[in-house]
Amino acid sequence: MTIRALIFDRDGVLTDFDVEAATRFFQPLLPFSVWELAQEWQRFGERHGFPTSLAAERTFFAAFWDELAAQHHLAEEARRRLHALDYTQFVRAYPDAAPALRLARQAGYRIGVLSNFSLASLDASLAAAGLDDLVDATCAATVIGAAKPDRAAYEIAALALNVAPHECYFFDDEWLCVEGAMVSGMQAWLVDRRRRCPAQITNVIPDLSAIAALLHSPSCPIRSVVARQVNESCVTSHL
């Protein structure tokens, strides 16, 4: 079976959120933590609907900051700084992300990102992380109207890359999303950066450095090449 494309989740696979930097920014402005802010943001989105375009996203954030400022009696300067915030400044690429994407591109594979991101600015977040030039197509759930593990989400991502699902490798840090990819016909792996190592899961890789082994010998099941690394790492971490 010929593989023509690699599709990655964003959060936990390609990028991480810099909580420390976000805390430094928000702490002087808000009377609660970053985690509580995230909960407020989620509730606001559930009430009003998450944005499906960049224009709608700007309106969404403006309304959110205004509501938050009114509810918590924030100072005008705090409200102004919140309005001016570009959240993508807190998005960080994992050190192994760009090398893995670059290697795949050099080998001739098309590269996609499929994320259950609830904003429309997936491209901007990848640009902030320095990964946008290495990605051919991006699919954010709110924009495409389908979310993992819905089969439609994977099919839309494959179509965006002009390939069939069975021509894709897929990588995610949530097992439910990995299962959804396999149901759609993709070959899929769990990226287990936290080394949780569920015993029943064999198609797992420790991080994106394992991509090199996969692309070097695509005819071999990746678990025979790299799963042993995960297991050995887990054993070591428990000694």
pLDDT in tens, 32-55: 999 999 999 999 999 999 999 999
Mean pLDDT of 233-238: 36
User: What pLDDT is attached to residue 217?
Assistant: 59
**Residue 139 and residue 118 share a domain:** yes
pLDDT averaged over every residue in the chain: 90
Pair 82, 99 in one domain:
no
Who contacts 141 (Cβ-Cβ below 8 Å, separation ≥6)? Answer: 115, 116, 117, 118, 147, 148, 153
Given a contact cutoff of 8 angstroms between Cβ atoms, the answer to whether 85 and 25 are in contact is yes
DSSP 128: H
Q: Do 159 and 233 belong together in one domain? A: yes
Indicate the pLDDT class of residue 236, thresholds 50, 70 and 90: very low
Which member of 9, 96, 172, 173 is catalytic?
9
pLDDT of 222 above 60: no
In which domain, by residue range, is 29 found?
A: 18-89
140, 53: one domain: no
Q: What amino acid occupies position 73? A: H
- Is there a single domain that holds both residue 81 and residue 136? no
CB 131 within 8 A of CB 98: yes
* Domain count for the chain: 2
Pair (50, 163) in one structural domain: no
Are 64 and 112 members of one domain? Answer: no
User: Would the CA dihedral through 92, 205, 153, 7 be positive or negative?
Assistant: positive
Write down the pLDDT at residue 123. Answer: 97
Helix (H) or strand (E) holding 169: strand 168-172
Pair (111, 210) in one structural domain: yes
Report which DSSP code applies to 28: T
Q: What is the DSSP letter of 210?
A: G
79 with 112, same domain? no
Which residue shows structure tokens 């509730």?
A: 43
> Per-residue pLDDT tens for 177-215?
999 999 999 999 999 998 876 667 788 999 999 999 888
Among residues 61, 89, 117, the one where a domain terminates is: 89
CA neighbours within 13 Å on the CB side: how many for 156? Answer: 19
Is 11 a catalytic site residue? Answer: no
- pTM exceeds 0.85 for this model: yes
**227 in the same domain as 201:** yes
Same domain for 103 and 60: no
